[in-house]
């Protein structure tokens, strides 16, 4: 009787140990560490292009490159001094 009880107890403990270790190694717990950070949004205005924390500034993207060219041209035009209009007497 002692042998049968010991075998049953040993079997029950080994099953419990196997079940506990299987629950501890669930792959879902490790997915968060391997995920890439979320992609930044694409800017559509010059103000958004200047905000590099929220918006992508990847110049390999043709849309962003075109927006940067447009914004640089607008900035250069705004800084360019306007010629003084001369009055004729």
Q: Which of helix, strand or coil describes residue 13?
A: helix
Phi, psi of 56 (to 5 degrees): -70, 145
Distance CA 82, CA 78 (A): 9
Judge if pTM exceeds 0.75. Answer: no
Tokens 């390999």 — which residue? 60
* Tokens found for residue 89: 């007497």
- Distances, alpha carbon 72 to alpha carbons 20, 53, 79, in Å: 61, 19, 11
State yes or no: pLDDT of 65 exceeds 90.
Answer: yes
- pLDDT-derived band of residue 67, with 50, 70 and 90 as boundaries? very high
């Amino acid at each position: 009787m002692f042998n049968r009880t010991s075998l049953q107890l040993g079997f029950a403990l080994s099953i419990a140990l196997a079940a506990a270790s299987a629950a501890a190694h669930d792959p879902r717990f490790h997915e968060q560490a391997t995920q890439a950070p979320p992609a930044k949004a694409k800017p559509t205005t010059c103000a958004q292009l200047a905000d590099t924390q929220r918006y992508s500034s990847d110049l390999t993207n043709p849309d962003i490159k075109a927006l940067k060219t447009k914004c640089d041209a607008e900035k250069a035009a705004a800084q360019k001094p306007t010629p003084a209009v001369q009055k004729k007497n």
